[in-house]
Amino acid sequence: MNINLTLFAQALMFAAFIWVIATQIWPPLSNAIEERQKKIADGLAAADRAKQELADADARVADEIRKARVDAGQITDKAHQQATQIVDKAKHDALAEAARQRAAAEAEIANLSSKAKEVLRTQVAALAVRGAEKVLGREIDAARHRELLDQIAAEI
């Protein structure tokens, strides 16, 4: 065996091995590595986009919460205003009803007072007639002297 021939055969086999690897194995392996790198880069980009979308969503949520708090404040203010209006209207209605009832009571008192005065006039007239009968010693006819008795009752 000649060392030169063995060395040359080994070099030739090594070159054939390199050529097979370079043409048959390396391109699919390189493609797989590139696809994997692309998937990782896409995943990282998607993660960055997701972080940005999450930050945007958080900002929108904070804005909506702020708007909801403002709206809730406006609603409570409006409710307080309506409650105040209802209370004021109820007070006004109660005062009007009290004034109406007072006027009705005063009218009834005036009516009862005039009726009582009329009854008292009639009784005083009857007493005056009885007193006059006793003083005069004779009976006065109320039917005959009705006009006179009415005049006396009106004066009293």
Q: What is the pLDDT of residues 53-64, one digit of tens each?
A: 999 999 999 999
Cα–Cα distance, 127 to 143 (Å, whole number): 16
**Is 145 in a helix, a strand, or coil?**
coil
Contact (Cβ atoms closer than 8 angstroms) between residue 95 and residue 128: no
The tokens describing 112, both together, are: 């009862």
> Would you give per-residue pLDDT tens digits along the chain (156 residues)?
567 888 888 999 999 999 999 999 999 999 999 999 999 999 999 999 999 999 999 999 999 999 999 999 999 999 999 999 999 999 999 999 999 999 999 989 989 988 888 888 788 777 777 777 666 655 566 665 667 667 766 666
**Token pair for residue 63?**
């804005």
- Note if the pTM is more than 0.75: no
131: nearest Cα among 112, 156, 107: 156
